Amino acid sequence: MSTTQQIWIVIGVLFVLLNIAAGLIWVERRLLALWQDRLGPNRAGPLGILIVLADTLKLFFKEDWIPPFADKWIFITAPAIVVGSVLLSFVIIPFAPGIVVADLNIGIIFFLAMSSLGVYSIVLGGWASNNKYALLGALRGASQMIAYEVFMGLSLMGVVMLTGSFNLGDIVMAQKHLWFVVTQPVGFIIFLIAGVAETHRLPFDIPEAESELIAGYHAEYSGMKFGMFFIGEYLGITLISAMIVTLFFGGWLGPAFLPPLLWFVIKLFFFIGLFILLRASLPRPRYDQLVSYGWKILLPLVLANVLITGAIALWLRG
């Protein structure tokens, strides 16, 4: 692949992802409204899709305020970390045959590393805000990370064992005959739960928890800095959905009447919709409930899954 081609892929992926993340503002508001027997934003443009533009313009024109008591440089860096780390994770995702930014042979490990870095934005943002609610949000973010990071990585090990590779392209190709969701249902469910916790989405939006911590770690943020957290969250949803699609639902594989990229996008949007449905329907647990749930139920379950998958993989190999 030539360098220019590579650059075009990078630009294309960046452009499409940022647009999807912005468009999700509209998708989420419309879907939530429909599930609550409302109509949602439907005035600006066709079906109200220009609400995205209005929201973005509004965020750009808001006062970009840094509280005098905040730790200025960390305060500015924190929102960039979340977007940066999520965008870096997208590097390894094969959107279609040949359309991947970096075909790393340690793909999954890179993804886990980058998604773990994302929590720094919460902890640093909450700490730098110098505000007690923000600090509480940051503490909760840290405790939540302790809860989900453990079983998140392990839940993918079944897939890795069955494929014998960390490379996501290889993982997709290994699902040519059977999606891993069939052979790894426990891994899929646990990764889904971990993914929701990883993106800090409802029901696991414990660090921001509007109803108790006003906005948690980003209570002091305004303007486009808040917008970065916002976009980071939507990019996170897209990332976890893309990972679920690649790891468990055959990535871009699908019947030949549609191009592979379209299959990927269809599956992607199915899971994005599932994320929004989760938000619409489930209440938020306490953070100690999440931690004990993670360590006492999901971790033993995922360890058993790794054990059994390993045994079966060895047995099949003879």
Partner 1 sequence: MLSHLRTMWLVFIHLFRKKETIEYPEEKVALHPRYRGRIVLTKDPDGGERCVGCYLCAVACPVDCIALQATEDENGRRYPDFFRINFSRCIFCGFCEDACPTYAIQLIPDFEMGEYNRQNLVFEKEDLLINSQGKYPGYNFYQVAGLEAGVKKKGEGVNEETPVDVHSLLP
Contact 104, 91 (CB under 8 A): yes
Please give the residue ranges that form the binding site for partner 1 (CB under 8 A).
34-39, 42, 277-278, 280-282
C-alpha–C-alpha distance, residues 107 and 102, integer Å: 9
198 with 240: CB under 8 angstroms? Answer: yes
Q: How far is the CB of 65 from partner 1 (least distance, A)?
A: 30
Give DSSP secondary structure letters for the chain. Answer: --HHHHHHHHHHHHHHHHHHHHHHHHHHHHHHHHHTT---S-SSSGGGTTHHHHHHHHHHHS-----TTS-HHHHHHHHHHHHHHHHHHGGG--SBTTB-S---TTHHHHHHHHHHHHHHHHHHHHHHHT-HHHHHHHHHHHHHHHHHHHHHHHHHHHHHHHHT-S-HHHHHHHTSSS-HHHH-HHHHHHHHHHHHHHTT-TTS-TTT-HHHHTTGGGTT--HHHHHHHHHHHHHHHHHHHHHHHHHHS-TT---TTS-HHHHHHHHHHHHHHHHHHHHHH-PPPPHHHHHHHIIIIIHHHHHHHHHHHHHHHHHHH-
- Beta-bridge partner residues of 96: 99
Question: CB-wise, 19 or 36, nearer to partner 1?
Answer: 36
Q: What angle do CA 94, 119, 112 make, to 5 degrees?
A: 35
The least CB distance from residue 158 to partner 1, in Å, is 20
Of 90 and 275, nearer to partner 1 (C-beta) is: 275
**Token output for 199:** 């993106």
For the bound state, the minimum distance from the C-beta of residue 103 to partner 1, rounded and expressed in Å, comes to: 36
CB-wise, 104 or 186, nearer to partner 1?
186
Tell me whether residue 202 or residue 228 sits nearer to partner 1 (CB atom): 202
- Smallest distance, Å, CB 36 to partner 1? 7
Please identify, using beta-carbon distances, which residue of 37 and 63 lies nearer to partner 1.
37
Minimal distance, residue 136 CB to partner 1, in Å: 27
If the CB atoms of residues 151 and 264 are measured against partner 1, the closer one turns out to be 151
**Least distance in Å: CB of 298 to partner 1?**
12
Nearer to partner 1 (CB atom), residue 119 or residue 190: 190
Task: Report, in Å, the least distance between residue 274 CB and partner 1.
Answer: 9
CB of residue 33 to partner 1, shortest distance in Å:
8
Between 36 and 105, CB nearer to partner 1: 36
